Every structure is written in C-alpha cells, then in structure tokens.
C-alpha cells in the first residue's frame, strides 16, 4: 500500500472564519439583525423541489436564515420562530423567484477570448455566478503556470472560477504544444485550491482500450478526492460501461435523448450543453425532468464572443431547455444544486442557511429565465442586465494564487527570424514528386468543427504549392510558435472563398500554434509577423497592409479588453475577410479549429496534414523530406 500523499486543505472563501460564524449564527437565531433581508419573492428549495414564499436573511457573505412569510399556510410556519430584529437593509422584490446563482458545469473560458474578469462582467447580469472550467488552452500554451495564472486572475472576483486539471495536453502526439501535462504535472495541480478534479477525458478510446497513462491520471484524481470528468460523444453499450468502470463520472456530449438516457441510467452525471459549438438543450430538455433532482446539470462548453454577448452564458442553456419543455424549477435546480453537489463546491447551490449568498432573482415569467438582480456573496453585482459592482476594481485576495504574474502568458508567440524561408521550405514541391496527381485537400464546412477530406490536383508554381482562387483552393499553414521547434506545415484548403491576402491567428486548437490561410505566401508571412508583433491575436492582411486585427496578448489566446471590443474586433475582421473574397462565415473562428487533430476528417498541425481517424500524418509531395 503506497504511503498517503498530501493534499492542501481547500481554503475556499466559502468557509467562514470563527468570528464570521459567531455573527452568522446570531443572525440566524434572531439575536442580531441581518445585514440584508430580501423579501417579496418566492424561494426555490432543491431539497424538496418546492417553491415557497420566504424572506432571505443575509449576514456578511452568507445566507443566515430562510424564513417563511407570515402569510403562508400554518403548517409551513414552524414552531420555534422568533421575533427578529429589523435588518440593517431591506430589499423588496416584486414577486419573482430567488434561486442560487447559476453555475456553468463545464466550459472553456478561453473560447470567449476574454479574461475571467471580463467573462464575469458578461454573465453575472445573466444570473451566472460561477463556472467550472477546463483550462486546456492556457495549459497547452503555458502548462501548469498557465492554469495557475487563470485561477489567480479569477481570485478576488465576485464570481467563482473553479477548474479541472486538463487531462489531454497535448491532445495528440501529432502536434507541438507549449507544454505537456503528464501525470506528474496533473498530480501537482490536483492538490491546489480551486481545482476540483480531472478535466474531460477526451481520449475515451484510449481509456476504453486500457491505455496506462490515462488510467494513471484517473487514479491520481481519485486518490485526491477529485472528480473525473468525461467526454464521450456517441459512446454506448460495452464501451460506455468500460469508460465508466474506469472511474469517469460525467459526460456533456450527449445529443439525443436515447443516448442521454443510456448514460444516465448507466451512472453518468449528465451536463446538458448549449453553446456556440454544440446545441443540445432543446433535444435533451426532457432529461432535466428525469434527473431525480441531482443527476443532470447544465453547461456551455464553448461560448464564443458574439454568443456570449448576445445570448449569455449557461443561463441560455437553461432558457433553451425550459422553452423546449423542461420544468423551470427543475432546470434551475439542475443548474445550481446539482452542479454544486456533483463538484462538491462547499456551501453553494441552495438558498438555505449557511450557504453563500450567491443569488439570482428571476423576474416574472420563469420561462424567460431572465435575471433581474444578482448577488454574489451578499454583494449586489448586477441589476436589470447590467453590472452594478466594479468587477475590474475588486481587490484581489491575498494568497498564493494572487502572485502569478502575467509574464507567464506574455510574449508567448515566438517565430523564427527567417519566417519567409521557413514557409518557402514548407511549400516547396519535392524534387522527386510528380506534378499532376491529386493531393489531399482540407474541406472546410460552415459552422462545423468537422472537415471533409477532399482532393484536387494542385497548382504548383515556381516549384512550390500554390493557391488557386478560381477553384477556391487557398494555402493553409500551421507554424509552431512556442519556441520548441522551428517548423511549419502546409496544405491546401477548400471553402474559404479567399482570393487574395491572408488571415492568421494564434488561436489554433488545441496546440495553439499559428494558423494561417492565404492566397500568397507573402501575405501569410505578413500576417504571421503581425500576429507575433501583437504578442498574439487575429489579423487580416492584403498587399502588405493590415486590414483588421484583434490583439490577444495573453498567451495568444486572451485579451483584457471588454467583450464588446472583442466582438467589434471580430466583426471588423469578418468584414476585412469578406473584402478578401471570403464567403465562409466567421472565418477566423473556423481557421482556429483547422488544427484540431481530434476532430475528423483532415486537419493541419505543425507536424503536418493529419488524417484524424487513422491518427497519422499524411505524406504529401511538398515540404521538407520525410514530412515536417
């Protein structure tokens, strides 16, 4: 039996100090006045599923008591009620319903392109008071330090950011990340405050096949009492049983009721997902009513900037399910209580004595799931869709996580001095390769992570692979940018519509090397250099000029700018792309997924053109001998 390993105690701010406990109990018992009393609304109770009229008494950052209103049925008024002193502040709500703030049970903060503070500003007014994220983007760029940085940025916000430890960095061995998270790194992170377990085990085939390192990661999480999150699209039958037997406890990939029900009854906690990339809430709405008050939650997974601004966060998942028939009270319970219990988030998930005063007041028709007022730990942070608390200015709490400097994520884009020569070598047609045969072409699909494996006979100009705008064939490149190896890879891509210039970005899931699509190698080089000069971001160039750009200087993934600026920047990039002939919607976003070597059929990493299903780099007649 191995020696017990040490795990730091959760120093979660949800746990009151001794003095805070003394005050809290005094207020609850009626000996001291509440700081705030909320009255006039109904209160949702996840323990019985009921909704009842009650006053909520808040002391400091916690709920001290939930007191049934005097005008309720006698059997609801308990013996032992006392005459309470008037509260220091009284808030009268005009009907409506109080629930805990919503918790997004699985999401990637980096998909929003903004920092935790900006994300919080976007979703707090929607009634979302916390997220559990899988920070595998920052982990791919900056490893363990990146994860710590993200949590440090979140510390002190009136918003909860919990994280799972990314389990698949890199996501394949056919790409070069900025860092690796192997079992040792994972073990180290699992013990840190704010970490709740192991992130989605996307490599479910490896888990089912018994691959040792994935099982070692699971064991590390279980030994430290962490969750083991799953990701198993379409996994059914015996393979699903195997995935569960490994210790995986959840999934968010179900798209049909049948699949969801099999997963539920087999023992998975199910997140109903609604985000920019996957929209399953309407199809799975019935599951919300089948979770027995604890087995179903909600998540967004990836919420891109436009959707975040227009639709919100996980509130939109709840709203979508309710519109499709989920019971509103059960949906709110799923989005709060069930998620908090699944992750064992202390003192969260109910409007009940002792819980954090994280509250959302839902106005009028609950089917709209529209938050009127929102409190985080007793502080009113939003009202009528707007922030009323200063998120950006909230002082950071002292502690180990607050000392992680931005330096770990700045200047993260390193390209070689002679980029043009590197690209030329990448595009150079091999001497021994005949011209005139078809080669693989990446076929981009609108609004999809999937690509089709196409083929075409390429134009070869001056001994180099060339674009062919008339056939909608552009050059696609991926250039390593973490400073670990100087290399690029190239391919032809169909579907952008690009006829001149280039687009480039430093967001290139999951390895986040530089992705570019262009008509001319020169434009590609210009675009890549501009991305590097920005410290990361997205650019559109033509004829040596930058037409539009969005700086993402934090890891080449994120910016401190407000969400509205990011959306405006993306809009300008889309317009610029359109001026280059691009017809594909959201081309920069599409470009950022063309290196995602876990989603079929054909993707491009710095290693080369990857046939995803076969898990191999395809030999091509251009580039350095033997491939990248």
Instruction: Tell which one of 238, 395, 407, 625 touches its own copies (CB under 8 A).
Output: 238
Which of the ranges 65-73, 442-450, 535-543, 584-592 carries the binding residues for its own copies, by CB under 8 A?
65-73
State which residue, 211 or 384, has the beta carbon closest to its own copies.
211
Instruction: Tell which one of 39, 262, 456, 618 touches its own copies (CB under 8 A).
Output: 262
Which of the ranges 6-14, 127-135, 158-166, 445-453 carries the binding residues for its own copies, by CB under 8 A?
6-14
The end-to-end CA distance of the chain, in Å, is: 46
CA distances from 139 to 41, 110, 532, 611 (A): 43, 11, 19, 25
Q: With b meaning 16 or more CB within 10 Å and e meaning fewer, what string describes 421-439?
A: ebbbbbbbbeeeeeeeeeb
DSSP state of 429: B
Q: How far is the CB of 120 from its own copies (least distance, A)?
A: 21
Backbone φ and ψ of 142, nearest 5°: -130, 15
Cα 355 from chain centre: 26
Give me the half-sphere count of Cα atoms (radius 13 Å) on the Cβ side of residue 22: 3
- 417 counts as binding its own copies under rule CB under 8 A: no
Instruction: Tell which one of 397, 403, 405, 583 touches its own copies (CB under 8 A).
Output: 397
- 434 counts as binding its own copies under rule CB under 8 A: no
Pairing state of beta strands 296-299 and 502-505?
unpaired
Q: What residues contact residue 471 under an 8 Å CB cut-off, 6+ apart?
A: 456, 494
Residue 179 · residue 142 · CB < 8 Å: yes
Contacts of its own copies in 143-202 (CB under 8 A): 193
Which of the ranges 207-215, 297-305, 369-377, 425-433 carries the binding residues for its own copies, by CB under 8 A?
207-215
Pairing state of beta strands 51-59 and 36-39?
antiparallel
Retrieve residue 482's tokens: 């973490």
Instruction: Tell which one of 33, 247, 416, 600 touches its own copies (CB under 8 A).
Output: 247
State which residue, 206 or 410, has the beta carbon closest to its own copies.
206
Q: What residues contact residue 30 under an 8 Å CB cut-off, 6+ apart?
A: 82, 83, 84, 85
State which residue, 289 or 455, has the beta carbon closest to its own copies.
289
Q: How far is the CB of 83 from its own copies (least distance, A)?
A: 9
- 600 counts as binding its own copies under rule CB under 8 A: no
State which residue, 313 or 353, has the beta carbon closest to its own copies.
353
Number of chain residues interacting with its own copies (CB under 8 A): 94
Measured between alpha carbons, how far is 371 from 126 in angstroms, rounded to an integer? 5
Instruction: Tell which one of 33, 40, 188, 267 touches its own copies (CB under 8 A).
Output: 267
State which residue, 194 or 313, has the beta carbon closest to its own copies.
194
Helix (H) or strand (E) holding 541: strand 537-542
Measured between alpha carbons, how far is 153 from 95 in angstroms, rounded to an integer? 36
Radius of gyration of the chain (CA): 26
Contacts of its own copies in 80-119 (CB under 8 A): 80-82, 84
Which of the ranges 62-70, 419-427, 438-446, 527-535 carries the binding residues for its own copies, by CB under 8 A?
62-70
Q: How far is the CB of 238 from its own copies (least distance, A)?
A: 4
Which of the ranges 75-83, 388-396, 415-423, 436-444 carries the binding residues for its own copies, by CB under 8 A?
75-83
State which residue, 400 or 624, has the beta carbon closest to its own copies.
400
- 78 counts as binding its own copies under rule CB under 8 A: yes
Contacts of its own copies in 551-580 (CB under 8 A): none
- Total Cβ atoms within 10 A of residue 23: 18
Instruction: Tell which one of 33, 40, 188, 354 touches its own copies (CB under 8 A).
Output: 354
Which of the ranges 60-68, 97-105, 116-124, 382-390 carries the binding residues for its own copies, by CB under 8 A?
60-68
Which of the ranges 132-140, 259-267, 455-463, 523-531 carries the binding residues for its own copies, by CB under 8 A?
259-267
**Any alpha helices (H) in 224-277, and if so which ranges?**
237-245, 257-266
Instruction: Tell which one of 90, 184, 245, 433 touches its own copies (CB under 8 A).
Output: 245
Q: What angle do CA 302, 190, 351 make, to 5 degrees?
A: 65
Measured between alpha carbons, how far is 132 from 143 in angstroms, rounded to an integer? 18
Q: How far is the CB of 204 from its own copies (least distance, A)?
A: 11
Query: If we measure between CA atoms, which residue out of 470, 508, 472 comes closest to residue 489?
Result: 508
- 347 counts as binding its own copies under rule CB under 8 A: yes
State which residue, 47 or 575, has the beta carbon closest to its own copies.
47
- Total Cβ atoms within 10 A of residue 535: 19
Query: If we measure between CA atoms, which residue out of 380, 387, 358 comes closest to residue 117?
Result: 387
Which of the ranges 79-87, 304-312, 380-388, 605-613 carries the binding residues for its own copies, by CB under 8 A?
79-87
- 423 counts as binding its own copies under rule CB under 8 A: no
Retrieve residue 291's tokens: 């979770």
- Total Cβ atoms within 10 A of residue 543: 11
State which residue, 182 or 365, has the beta carbon closest to its own copies.
182
Helix (H) or strand (E) holding 66: strand 62-68
Retrieve residue 255's tokens: 């798209």
Measured between alpha carbons, how far is 252 from 259 in angstroms, rounded to an integer? 11
Instruction: Tell which one of 35, 45, 55, 185 touches its own copies (CB under 8 A).
Output: 45
Which of the ranges 58-66, 143-151, 365-373, 475-483 carries the binding residues for its own copies, by CB under 8 A?
58-66
Q: How far is the CB of 52 from its own copies (least distance, A)?
A: 8
- 50 counts as binding its own copies under rule CB under 8 A: yes
- 233 counts as binding its own copies under rule CB under 8 A: no
Measured between alpha carbons, how far is 158 from 378 in angstroms, rounded to an integer? 10
Is 400 strand, coil or helix?
Answer: helix
- 290 counts as binding its own copies under rule CB under 8 A: yes
Contacts of its own copies in 292-321 (CB under 8 A): 292-295
């Amino acid at each position: 039996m191995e020696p017990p390993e040490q795990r730091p105690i959760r120093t979660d701010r949800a746990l009151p100090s001794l003095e805070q406990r003394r005050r809290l109990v005094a207020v609850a018992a009626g000996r001291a006045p509440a700081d705030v009393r909320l009255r006039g609304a109904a209160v949702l109770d996840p323990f019985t599923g009921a909704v009842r009229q009650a006053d909520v008494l808040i002391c400091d950052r916690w709920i001290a008591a939930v007191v049934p209103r005097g005008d309720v049925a006698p059997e609801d008024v308990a013996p032992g009620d006392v005459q309470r002193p008037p509260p220091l502040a009284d808030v009268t709500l005009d009907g409506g319903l109080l629930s805990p703030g919503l918790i997004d049970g699985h999401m990637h903060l980096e998909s929003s392109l903004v920092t935790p503070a900006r994300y919080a500003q976007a979703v707090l007014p929607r009634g979302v008071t916390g997220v559990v994220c899988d920070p595998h983007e920052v982990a791919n760029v900056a490893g363990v330090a990146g994860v710590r940085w993200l949590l440090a940025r979140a510390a002190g916000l009136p918003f909860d950011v919990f994280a799972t430890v990314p389990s698949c960095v890199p996501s394949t061995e056919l790409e070069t990340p900025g860092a690796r998270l192997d079992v040792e790194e994972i073990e180290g992170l699992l013990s840190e405050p704010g970490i709740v377990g192991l992130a989605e085990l996307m490599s479910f085939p490896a888990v089912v096949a018994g691959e040792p390192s994935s099982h070692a990661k699971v064991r590390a999480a279980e030994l430290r009492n962490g969750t083991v999150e799953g990701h198993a699209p379409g996994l059914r039958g015996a393979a699903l049983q195997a995935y569960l037997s490994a210790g995986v406890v959840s999934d968010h990939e179900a798209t049909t009721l049948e699949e969801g029900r099999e997963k539920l009854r087999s023992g998975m906690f199910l997140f109903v997902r609604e985000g920019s990339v996957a929209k399953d809430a309407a199809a799975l709405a019935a599951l919300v009513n089948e979770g027995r008050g604890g087995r179903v939650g909600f998540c967004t997974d990836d919420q891109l900037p436009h959707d975040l601004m227009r639709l919100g966060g996980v509130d939109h998942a709840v709203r979508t399910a309710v519109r499709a028939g989920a019971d509103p009270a059960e949906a709110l319970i799923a989005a709060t209580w069930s998620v908090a219990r699944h992750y064992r988030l202390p003192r969260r998930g109910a409007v009940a004595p002792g819980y954090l005063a994280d509250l959302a007041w839902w106005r009028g028709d609950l089917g709209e799931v529209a938050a009127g007022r929102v409190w985080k730990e007793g502080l009113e942070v939003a009202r009528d869709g707007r922030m009323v608390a200063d998120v950006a200015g909230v002082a950071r709490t002292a502690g180990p996580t607050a000392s992680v400097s931005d330096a770990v994520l700045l200047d993260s884009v390193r390209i070689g001095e002679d980029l043009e020569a590197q690209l030329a070598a990448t595009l150079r047609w091999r001497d021994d390769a005949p011209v005139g045969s078809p080669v693989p072409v990446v076929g981009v699909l609108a609004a999809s992570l999937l690509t089709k494996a196409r083929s075409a006979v390429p134009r070869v100009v001056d001994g180099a692979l060339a674009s062919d705008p008339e056939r909608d064939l552009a050059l696609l490149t991926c250039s390593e940018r973490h400073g670990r190896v100087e290399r690029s890879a190239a391919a032809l891509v169909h579907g952008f519509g690009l006829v001149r210039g280039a687009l480039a970005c430093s967001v290139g899931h999951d390895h986040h090397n530089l992705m570019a699509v262009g008509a001319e190698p020169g434009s590609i080089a210009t675009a890549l250099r501009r991305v590097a000069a920005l410290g990361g971001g997205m650019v559109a160039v033509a004829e040596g000029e930058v037409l539009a750009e969005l700086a993402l200087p934090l890891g080449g993934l994120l910016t401190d700018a407000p969400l509205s600026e990011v959306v405006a920047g993306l809009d300008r990039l889309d317009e610029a792309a359109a001026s280059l002939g691009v017809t594909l919607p959201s081309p920069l976003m599409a470009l950022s997924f063309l290196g995602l070597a876990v989603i079929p059929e054909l993707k491009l990493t710095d290693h080369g053109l990857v046939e995803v299903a076969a898990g191999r780099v395809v030999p091509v007649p251009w580039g350095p001998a033997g491939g990248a």
